[in-house]
Structure 1
Amino acid sequence: MAQYKGAASEGSRAMQMMKKREQAQEEVEFRKKKIEEELKLSGMKDKFASHYDAVEQQLKTSTIGLVTLDEMKAKQEVIVQEREKQLAKKLKEKEREIERELEAKRAEKKKQKQQIKSLSFKLDNDEEEEEGDQEEIQSAPSPKILADESESLDKSEEEPAAKKIKGNKNPDVDTSFLPDRDREEEENKLREELRQLLGRVGSQENDSHEKRKHDLSIFAALSGFTKERFP
């Protein structure tokens, strides 16, 4: 009879422990749902699902034999806190990695802007140099102008020299028998002017004679005389 009572007591105790284990399991599920509702991040569901699966697995492996509900809750709390610390650490590492990537992109973008600015400045300098070269080419005198200026300079140098030679002649010495280019040109010029003057005078005389004959013809016709009666 005593043996029967001992067996019944053990069975009752086992039933109580099973109920406590079920209550602990329900507590884990409740905390899991509560954290999921607080986070409200659809993209993180899989991560936190695996997180709580890992907590539950660790809780099962670390709980050997029959334990009280308080012991179960204490172990569960420790495991959850450690797991949350690990997740927070991973999140911080991920944030640092993203920040490093963003910083690298900003540095690369800044470098590209600097290169573009440097290239633009170089192109502007090249254009200014080309414009300066074109202005120098346009402002430079052409070979024809240089030749004309050189010829004019030579003539201007020759004329004072010729005047100087003429000025050095002695006026008391007769040099008419010597060849003189300037004197010959002046004489030829005077002859041409005289010839043109004589031509104009002769032309005027012919015109005057013809006019006089024409006037006499008109006068004779009006007076009834013939042209033969006038000498």
Structure 2
Amino acid sequence: MSHADAGRLIHLSKKREREKEDIEQRKKQVEDEAKKREGMIFTFSKIIEFSEANIGSKFTANYDAVEEHLKSATVGLVTLDDMRELQKDVIVDREKKLARGEDESKKAELSKSKGTAEKYTQKRMLSFVGNDEEEEEEIVIVSKKRVGMDPTVDTSFLPDKERQEQLAKRKEELATEWKAQQEKEKNEEITIAYVYWDGSSHRKNTRMKKGATIAQFLAKAIEALKKEFTELKSCIPENLMFIKEDLIIPHFYTFQDFIATKAMGKTGPLYEFDAIGEIRLRQDAALDIGESHPAKVVLRSWYERNKHIYPASRWEPFVPNKKYKNSELDDLKNI
């Protein structure tokens, strides 16, 4: 045998030995896996047995609780349908309690403590209705009292809800009282002294309510003047102008508006309509400041023709809240 054949035989024998070792290792792995599977099957079977026992005990406890509740809730003879409905309601209620995990003993203690607390906040009294005695409960509401405040300290600058509510209520009362007073005053009658001005003065007087508008006054003035002045027979209030204290007053204002605000004009107060006399008939016009003078009723057409001539040149539209100074009358001293 040559050396090459001997070396080949040695290599083959070593290869067979390695294959045997591999086979032995695989057999061992297969045996170990089989043992593990047997252990897992045993453990799973134990778990199933324990679960069945636990479920059985729970079902038994649940059944006992439902049966006990049914016994306590059922009084006297009931029909089969009523019994089934009651059993169904008890089972549903029991399942809800188990799902929430509530403890009956804790719930009983909670309801007991709640009932004790309600005794302190409720006042029980007996009422007799006919021949039956019924017990009624009346809830006593305890108002919160503010304690710990020093009454001698000024707290008017601090926000106070009660004080604000009282102020708001007082404001509403005053507003209502003021409106009622204004309505009463609007129905009072006053004497209006006026002149129809066509270059000369024609003095007239009439009675009007304080709540009447300038347009209503002009309509009444037309009725009184058209018999004497032919140019007013076909006239309407829009064709006339109302001049008071050298101010052209719009027709929508009422006499009460000037009386309530005590507005002043260029030559005197706008709120006094029972005038003393015409200022321009006096010798010194500057001395008549503060006196009320008759209102003027003027045709618009006459004003458009003579607005550049005194006294129409001094007339100007009325502006609310404007203060007219006495210095505007300085030019009257030379009349």
TM-score normalised over the length of structure 1: 0.28
Higher relative contact order (CA 8 A, sep 6+): 1
Q: Which has the larger Rg? A: 1
TM-score normalised over the length of structure 2: 0.20
